[in-house]
Amino acid sequence: MGRIDHHRPQYPEPKGQFKKSYHLEMVADRQRTGAILRALRLTLSQSPDSVFCELGCGTGIFSIYAAGFCKKVYAVELDPKMVAIARQNIVHAKLEHKIELIEGDASTITLPEKADIVFCEMMSIWCIEEPQIPVFNHAVEQILRPGGQYLPSRIVNMAELGHFNFQLENVEIKASMPLFTGIPRSGIMTGRRVCRVLDFSQPMDLSLNASTTFEAMGDGTLNCAKLTSIVQMGPQTIFSGSDSLMPLTVAPLQEPLEVKFGDRIRFDASAHARMDLNEAEFTVQKI
C-alpha cells in the first residue's frame, strides 16, 4: 500500500482500514498533535463542567487529554481494532469512570446526553474525501446541544495555479497527489486565492463547488491547481496541514491552458464531500 492509499480510509466497510502504523504516524506528528492539544486546552479550560465528545477517537489520545479538563467524555470509534486499543489506553490512564467509549459510526450515533463540545478530526484536503461534512451535519442535529461548540470551527479552502510534471520520459499520469516530503513541488504561476469557506457553526451542503479568478504572474502552461486547507482548529489555533494530515495537494486541470503575464483566468472546481479527489474536476479559462 502506497502513501497515498495510506491516507485514504474507506468508510464504512471493511472496518479497520487504518493500520496501527498509521495511527502511530498521526500521533507522532507533533505539528498535527500539538495543534489539536492546544485547541482542546484553550477550549476546555474555559468549560470545566462541560460534556465533551470526540467522533473518531482512534487510539484515544485526545479523549484522554480532554478528560483532564471536563466533566464527561464520550469517545466514539468505528474500527473495532482501534476500540480495543483505546480501551487499553483509557484503563491505563485510570479514566474508565470519566470516559465512555462507544463503538459505532459517527454519522449515525446518538449519545445518552447532548455534548457541549464536539471534536472531529476527519479531515482531508478541501474536505473532499473524508466524511467531515456529513458527520458534522449529523453532530449538529443529534449530538451537539444548541449553542454548543464544534471543533474545528472553520476550514478555508484555497488554491493557486501552476505547472506540475505529470510526465516522465514517455509516461504521463495525471492524478491528484499529496505533496509529501520528497515529492517535487509544482511550479506556481499565480497568487493563492480563497475558493470556499466552510463554517462549522451551521449545517452545510455537501457541495464543495467553487469559483474564483486569478492573474497569471508569468508566461507558460497552467496544468494544475495546488490545493490547501487552512483550519481554525480552535481558539487561537491554526493548522495548515502536515505529511500525516491534509498535506498540500496537486490536482491536474481538465485541460492545460497557455497564459501570458497579466492574463485573467477563471478557475472552477466541481466536487462534493465523500468523493474520490481524482473524480473532482478543476477547469480554467481566460476571461
**Is the pLDDT reported for residue 14 higher than 90?**
no
Mean predicted confidence (pLDDT) in 55-63? 96
Which range, of 65-69, 84-88, 180-184, 282-286, averages the lowest pLDDT?
A: 180-184
pLDDT of residue 26: 86
Greatest alpha-carbon pair distance for the chain in Å reads 65
Mean predicted confidence (pLDDT) in 172-197? 92
pLDDT of residue 1: 42
Mean predicted confidence (pLDDT) in 25-29? 88
pLDDT of residue 11: 58
Domains in the chain, CATH or no CATH each: 3-151 (3.40.50.150), 154-286 (2.70.160.11)
pLDDT-derived band of residue 169, with 50, 70 and 90 as boundaries?
confident
**Is the pLDDT reported for residue 74 higher than 80?**
yes
pLDDT-derived band of residue 6, with 50, 70 and 90 as boundaries?
low
pLDDT-derived band of residue 55, with 50, 70 and 90 as boundaries?
very high
**Is the pLDDT reported for residue 238 higher than 60?**
yes
Cα angle 198, 240, 48 (rounded to 5 degrees) comes to: 75
Set of cell numbers at residue 251: 490536482
Mean predicted confidence (pLDDT) in 104-120? 96
CA distances from 164 to 2, 169, 179, 193, 242 (A): 20, 14, 11, 19, 20
Task: State the pTM of this model.
Answer: 0.92
**Is the pLDDT reported for residue 282 higher than 50?**
yes
pLDDT-derived band of residue 19, with 50, 70 and 90 as boundaries?
confident
pLDDT-derived band of residue 24, with 50, 70 and 90 as boundaries?
confident
Q: Which residue has the higher pLDDT, 3 or 26?
A: 26
Mean predicted confidence (pLDDT) in 123-151? 95
